[in-house]
Amino acid sequence: SAQNTYAMLTTFNEIDMSNLMSMRSSYKDQFMERHGVKLGFMSAFIKASARALKAEPAVNAMIDGDEIVYRDYVDVSVAVSAPKGLVVPVLRNVDSMTFADVERSIATYGKKAKDGTLAIDEMTGGTFTISNGGVFGSLNGTPIINPPQSAILGMHSIVQRPVVVNGEIVARPMMNVALTYDHRLVDGREAVTFLKTIKEAVEDPRRL
């Protein structure tokens, strides 16, 4: 239904994952010891998305009939692999969650998805979706909006690529990211700025 009624456009960017990967390797043992869950990459992307959604409220809004509904809360739907395909549980109020809260919620939902015990109300009401095709090896793609939301972020696999840093060509772990958005509600400037906010936050994760 999204393809028939939405005016869907996609904007792309790439993220240098070096800082996030080094932060993760520095803290992963302490994090596991203290919180009982692994420190993954998803928490940084979810926290970065919460920041971007606050900065660009149109991306967090929805169209209801003839009205635009702005939400002052950030509930992120996260696509999780389940035996019968993808399910999309919702993390509520992620703007007030810590990295540990996010990782714990994802771990809980991941287990429920495998066991087939996710409740319907745990999968409804998100304001934005993140889908990580990278876990299946996808290098690039255009994610499809999850109605009635107005945008979806697609993460992809991390690949060592040559990039120019201070005039030198160096190998860096790079991830392509894509934001598909409803152009009836979100204009190009907002979408590009939104994705750039996520890029900058993930590239400097200690500020999250």
Cα separation, 193 vs 28, whole angstroms = 31
Q: Out of 16, 35, 95, 187, which one is annotated catalytic?
A: 187
Structure tokens at 180: 């598909």
* Cα(26)–Cα(159) distance, integer angstroms: 21
Q: d(Cα 186, Cα 85) in Å, to the nearest integer?
A: 29
CA torsion angle for 42, 104, 74, 72 (degrees, to 10)?
Answer: -150
Residue 183: active-site member:
yes
Task: Enumerate residues 6+ apart whose C-beta is below 8 A from 10.
Answer: 142, 143, 178, 179, 180, 181
Q: Rounded CA gap, 175 and 195, in Å? A: 13
Q: What is the DSSP secondary structure assignment for residue 2, as one 8-state letter?
A: H
Q: Which of 29, 115, 183, 204 is catalytic?
A: 183
Which amino acid would we find at residue 123?
M
Q: In this structure, how many other beta carbons lie within 10 angstroms of the beta carbon of residue 182? A: 25
Please tell me the distance from the alpha carbon of residue 70 to that of residue 54, in angstroms, as a whole number: 11
Which residue numbers are catalytic?
Answer: 183, 187
